Amino acid sequence: MPYQAPTADQLFVLKDVLGLETYANLPKFADAPMDLIEQIVEEGAKFCENVLAPLNKVGDTQGCKWLPDNTVTTPDGFKEAYKQLVETGFPALAADPAHGGQGLPGVINVAFSEASSSSNMAFSMFPGLTSGNYAAIASRGSDEQKATYCAKLASGEWSGTMNLTEPHCGTDLGLLRTKAVPRGDGTYRISGQKIWISAGEHDVSENIIHLVLARIEGAPPGVKGISLFIVPKYIPNADGSPGARNEGVKCAGLEHKMGIHGNPTCVMAYDDAIGYLIGEENGGLSIMFIMMNEARLWVGLQGLSQAEAAYQAAVTFAKERLQGRSLTGPKNPDGPADPIIVHPDVRRMLMESKATIEGMRALLYWTILQEDLAHVHPDEQARQKAGDLVGLMTPICKAYLTDKGFEIASLAMQVHGGSGFTEHFPASQYLRDSRITMIYEGTNGIQALDLVGRKLPAKGGRAAMALLAELNAVAADAGEDPAVAPYVDALNTARERLQDATGWLMQNAMANPDNAGAASTDFLRLVTLAGLCMVWTKAAKIAAARVAAGDSNPFYANKLATGRFFLERIAPEGALHLTRMKTGAAAMMALPAEAF
């Protein structure tokens, strides 16, 4: 069941749905004509299909090994594949040219990142984590720190981590105990323990740069006293090469996990490790969110990627597995039975997967486009709007895409039947690998609370108003084509439900904060469905025009057929979410804790 990158749909989203060519006059976009974008997407697909995908099962079965000297080895082939990855230049696609990067928009890089994660999620975590590490240092590091670390991180020669969680301290970072002691020479000594550190120790890159949250002695309690430190595995020499071993940094063991076996999840022990403050003292939280927000979008991409890979495996199985006969008569009369893809319930699972994946892809790519525009658009109001939309959509992309990634992986296992429950087929690995995405970088319940408690009311609700304006603009731009009218109707209905839900929150959350918490996940789904209706309307407008013009490429007719399933089977879920959130918190909180 070989993985094939969905390049046709990726390019359709980039070129047609997002209209990247219309931004050709903007910085970064000016250096990315469509023929270059197509080349990047197609060459990236080949690398993922031919180099990374064959190692996915290897990584799952072999896993990583922790050795007595506190080092970690990765599965066979990972080290060589990582070297090839660095040589291709793909890790540096969106990095600043000042750091040796190509300076392309992030939305172009996302197509390769999706294919990389679909083909081998565990492997893709090495460069994925490094990207957030690079972003933090490039944004807030000193000139010396940027000169020392950014080029190596951008290329992937050095990899990076995020060290946040401690044994007693996960989401509530104000409880962290890792301490930092200034030594008077510009360095600090870092001591403490961090857990669940992905890629904390390994053999694929020549140096590992840890970004570690710690508290300087005498710092204020809670999150106001958190600082961020660069703690390299090897102290860089003046010429930029890895120097002496930072002896205070050790991997104290590996977690035994449900999935992503090819990426080491480490317990990291810091014992007077040499660290360098990044940014200001007690200013670590804001820098951490640079990493965290980038990571949350990347985790959403992981949900999409595992959904795509699992769906492809399910389609292959459904076309080959012979069981029973079609309810409307044999479709394989010369065989002993029909392939199971003829059965309506199998079609239900495959169509739900396909329609959800294509909508999620367009919505995630659209969100990352807003992130690009927030940085490069010459108009201040346009930058503000794009930044507001990114902030609003980040928890949505993280939560919804990972929820659905796991659900689609589960549907893929169901399509496989008993075969999916064995390790002879890939369905089990996709299910196991995808499950962590709903947990790390803030559980999906935390994302929903962040949306309702912080993102929605921020700056007087400016981001929500920007999204509503965008929904209105897409509906108005859809034109009079009867083939697109059902999408516009669904979009308008989704917008009305979202406005209704927002009004309900404003009236009820202040009176009882539990109402906001109880409504948060359903509200997140309502926002997501509105976004999905928006991108499906944009896609349908283009596809319908191509079909009407007589385009013989079946891609466009198939896009409309998939969109019809979305309209009839997925978009109506908004009514359920609105009804549920309006019940408030009473039933949810009525049962005493001791009764559970």
> For 100, left (φ over 0), alpha (ψ -120 to 50), or beta?
left
Residue 369 lies in a domain: no
CA distance 411 to 258: 18
Provide the domain count of the chain: 1
Of 185, 49, 190, 197, residue with least CA distance to 114:
49
CA distance 84 to 47: 9
3-state secondary structure (DSSP) of residue 203: coil
Residues 6+ apart with CB under 8 A from 462: 388
Residue 132 lies in a domain: no
Residue 567 lies in a domain: yes
Amino acid 104: pLDDT:
96
Of 266, 230, 229, 228, residue with least CA distance to 250:
266
- Residue 480: which domain range? 450-588
Residue 186 lies in a domain: no
Amino acid 171: pLDDT:
80
Handedness of CA 287, 291, 297, 300 (dihedral sign): negative
Which stretch of DSSP H or E encloses residue 250?
strand 249-254
| pTM value > 0.95 | yes
Residue 116 lies in a domain: no
What rounded mean pLDDT belongs to the chain? 96
Residues of the chain with pLDDT under 50: none
Amino acid 595: pLDDT:
97
CA distance 152 to 135: 13
Amino acid 230: pLDDT:
98
Residue 511 lies in a domain: yes
CA distance 301 to 105: 16
CA distance 316 to 313: 5
| 8 Å CB contact between 29 and 105 | yes
Q: Let me know the angle formed at the C-alpha of 418 by 417 and 422, rounded to the nearest 5 degrees.
A: 120
3-state secondary structure (DSSP) of residue 229: strand
Of 89, 77, 168, 155, residue with least CA distance to 123:
77
| 8 Å CB contact between 203 and 73 | yes
Catalytic residue, from 217, 441, 568, 594: name it: 441
Residue 250 lies in a domain: no
Amino acid 2: pLDDT:
87
Q: Let me know the angle formed at the C-alpha of 446 by 462 and 383, rounded to the nearest 5 degrees.
A: 30
539 — phi, psi (to 5°)? Answer: -65, -40
| Interval 230-272: pLDDT, tens | 999 999 999 999 999 999 999 999 999 999 999 999 999 999 9
196 — phi, psi (to 5°)? Answer: 60, 40
Is residue 441 annotated as a catalytic residue, yes or no? yes
Amino acid 15: pLDDT:
98
Residue 12 lies in a domain: no
| Interval 498-557: pLDDT, tens | 999 999 999 998 889 999 999 999 999 999 999 999 999 999 999 999 999 999 999 999
Amino acid 169: pLDDT:
87
Amino acid 510: pLDDT:
81
